[in-house]
Amino acid sequence: MAHRARPTLETVAERAEVSRQTVSNVLNAPHVVADATRDRVLAAIDELGYRPNVAARQLRTRRSWVLGLRVPPASDGISGQVLDRFLHALTEVAQQAGLRIMLFTSGDDADEVREYQNLHSTAGVDGFVLANTHAGDGRTRWLTEQAIPFVTFGRPWDGDRSAADHAWIDIDGRSGIHAATRHLLDAGHRKIAFLGWPEGSGVGDDRYAGYLDALRTVPTAAPPLVRRCEDGVPTGMAAAADVLADDDVTALVCVSDSIALGAMAAIRDLAHTRPRRPAVALTGFDDTPVARAVDLTSVAQPVDRVAARAVGLLLSQMRPADQRVTMSAADRHVLIEPRLVVRATSQVPV
């Protein structure tokens, strides 16, 4: 064995003309090292073949600085793309903080817990980001019991919140739909219908509540008028055609961009078949690429802000125990305001 020839931290430091500590920093906390210095150290590491350093670093720090993220099965829906955008944003923010994202897939919750264990025990993954929380979530319970750092994109939907007092970030859908409805009320619309999902989904019910909230702020608004359907373009088209048979309805607030896209086709047909009917204003939810493509007013989920808070909450959990600060529930539970993106479909003469 040419053991004496193996490059060490010292030989790298010498080659890069920096201190041993600087080389160590490049390996353990690259974000504290100036770019030019880091490049020089990396070049020296490369020339000398000092590899794989991650192994030594991990043995030393007992941290891999890698976060696990499950990729859901490729979604058929238009709205599933929010998670794809979140994945992009998370990778970017994590990288800036010196963390990497490792992907995995899994089937049901039990299978996902097995993957957590696998990734934590044998691949040294330090923490996890979970999307798509649901009532009675066994995954968050397991991670909490194991004291593995994690954060969820999505609040716990259990009735009993105390059962899941973990760190989470979510979008305030209620407030987003409130803003969309207010936008239409402010423009003078009075009979506004809501096209929603079937009752019983936490996310859908929360958005519907925002519509009701907004109507209550304007005494002259017509009473709530709701049509419910499964998410989709054809279902949205049928629901819109149905509710628009009433000529007094001049605006539609949709729970998703898919349903809004269907409504858009129904509105287009009406413009031809009943040209004297009042025009119809329309809003969607998620600000998907297709919303931008067809000029649809929609509610945007600021996934970059979600990603930034997720990384912050994870880093605070990953600190050595003696440096950890106890966070209040208010700090660990973050509800982010979405943003109404006004485009052509909501700006029609009343």
Q: State the residues that interact with a second copy by CB under 8 A.
A: 26-27, 30, 39, 42, 45-46, 50-59, 62, 64, 66, 71-78, 80-81, 84-85, 87-89, 91-92, 95, 100-105, 114, 117-118, 120-124, 232-234, 258, 261, 265, 268-269, 272-273, 289-290, 292-295
Q: How far is the CB of 45 from a second copy (least distance, A)?
A: 5
Minimum CB distance to a second copy smaller for 159 or for 275: 275
What is the distance in angstroms between the CA of the first residue and the CA of the last residue of the chain?
Answer: 84
Residue among 181 and 235 whose Cβ is closer to a second copy:
235
CA dist 284 and 293 (Å) reads: 13
Q: CA-CA distance, 92 to 239, in Å (whole number)?
A: 39
Cα 139 to chain centroid, rounded: 18
Complex with a second copy: residue 52 or 219, whichever CB lies closer: 52
The pair of three-digit structure tokens given for residue 114, joined into one six-digit string: 């097995």
Quick one: which of 143, 176, 141, 149 has its CA closest to 337? 176
Between CA 265 and CA 253 the distance in angstroms is 15
* Shortest CB 98 distance to a second copy, Å: 11
Provide the minimum distance between the beta carbon of 13 and a second copy in the complex, in angstroms, as a whole number. Answer: 15
| Nearest distance in Å: CB 123, a second copy | 5
- Distance between CA 107 and CA 73 in Å, rounded? 9
Kindly tell me which of 273 and 328 has the beta carbon lying closer to a second copy: 273
**CB-nearer residue toward a second copy: 219 or 272:** 272
Q: b/e for 17-48, b at 16 or more Cβ within 10 A?
A: ebeeebbbbbbbeeeebeeebbebbbebbeeb
Between 68 and 210, name the residue whose CB sits nearer to a second copy.
68
Q: Which two tokens stand for residue 329?
A: 């529930």
CB atoms < 10 A from the CB of 210, how many?
24
| Min dist. Cβ of residue 295 to a second copy (A) | 8
Q: Smallest gap, in angstroms, from Cβ of residue 50 to a second copy?
A: 8
Output the smallest distance, CB 233 to a second copy, in A.
4
Residue with tokens 């931008």, as numbered in its chain: 292
Residue number, 95 or 217, with CB nearest to a second copy: 95
